[in-house]
A and B are shown apart, each in its own frame.
Chain A
Amino acid sequence: MATKAEHLKAIKAKHSSLTKNVNGVSETLSASEYNATIDEWATNRAAKDARNEIIASGGQSADYANLRTDSMIDGSYPSIPDQLDMLFHDITDGKLGKTGSWYKAVKATKDKFTKP
């Protein structure tokens, strides 16, 4: 996982200058615009790295509620239809307690993405 400073260095190495397109005309960014842009890119990349680390390994995150409910994230809650299907089978099997598939699935998500 790269730090923001490492991302800044990499972005500067890749882009010695940047352009903006204004009404179809391409212009080189001023020094202040360039610095603001690469700072924003580095900040976003570092935040993304931190988020990906949590997604891969789990752990505490202030964003835990979003991580648990974002269905594009591995380890988030199962979809509502899947949860209902789990409940149907748990009821059928007489497993509405902690041994049921629904409880285990939801607990796995809560255990992976925890509150700070």
Chain B
Amino acid sequence: MGLTLISTHTASSDATLDITSGIDSTYNEYQFYFVNIHGSEDDKQFHFQVNAAGESGFNETITSTAFYAFHEESGTSFGEYTLGYRTNADQAQGTAYQPAIGYNMGYDNDQSASGILTLYDPSSTTYLKHFTSEGSVAVYNNIAANLFTAGYINTTSAIDEISFKFNSGNIDAGTIYMYGVS
């Protein structure tokens, strides 16, 4: 497996970060590496949506799952550590932005989230589009969380655009690297 860097995107107090070029039939798999994504507001979700080729708006239908493990820095107010399904980070045929890599993210100066989102065969016109993501998150109340999401974009249309944002507040900083996998 080889990774080819297609583009690099650095956020700087942007409400959204959209990638509208470079996703095509060249690769069967695309990976988005997120490094130190930092929001402007506390306890917020970092999420994504996609747009099908020839259509408008980031509003494709998604069915997804989400679970996480977390471990507190100190104390046992939430049971110290746990593994659990995240009911408010999944969708059942929803068109909202899908949480990925970061949930309940903190916005202290030293807090951020990093991780990987993989989008499979986005140019297929036969199959729906699977995705998986894994992120390491500095949660707002000083918890280390490992968020896993997966699911499919329920369309057989080709996907050629992707958008990232927080559910409230700007993406203050962070870099997204888009790779093609061959």
Contact = CB atoms under 8 A, between A and B. Distances in A.
B and A form one assembly: yes
Interface of A: 15, 18-24, 26, 29, 37, 40-41, 44-45, 48, 63, 65-66, 69-74, 78-79, 82
A82 B78 CA distance: 12
Contacts of A19: 13-15
Interface stretch (B24-32, B107-115, B120-128, B162-170): B162-170
Interface string B48-69: 0000000000000000000000
Given A18-B170, A48-B43, A78-B79, A72 B70 contact: yes
Interface of B: 7-21, 43, 70, 77-79, 82, 84-88, 104, 139, 143, 167-171
19 contacts: A15-B170, A19-B13, A20-B17, A21-B11, A21-B12, A21-B171, A22-B18, A23-B7, A23-B21, A24-B7, A40-B167, A66-B88, A69-B84, A70-B86, A72-B78, A72-B104, A72-B143, A79-B79, A79-B82
B14 A21 contact: yes
Contacts of A72: 70, 78, 104, 139, 143
Nearest to B43: A48
Contacts, number: 73
B84 A71 contact: yes
Given A18-B170, A23-B21, A71 B79 contact: yes
Interface of B is mostly: strand
A18 B40 CA distance: 13
B82 A41 contact: no
A20 to B, nearest CB: 5
A70 B87 contact: yes
A78 B78 CA distance: 9
Contacts of A66: 87-88
B77 A74 contact: yes
A21 B21 CA distance: 13
Contacts of B21: 23
A78 B9 CA distance: 42
Residue from A21, A44, A70, A82 with most neighbouring chain B CB atoms (10 Å) = A21
Given A22-B20, A24-B9, A72-B104, A37 B84 contact: no
A11 to B, nearest CB: 8
A21 B11 CA distance: 7
B78 A23 contact: no
Contacts of B169: 41
- Interface hub of A19, A71, A73 (most chain B Cβ within 10 A): A71
Given A23-B9, A23-B20, A48-B43, A82 B87 contact: no
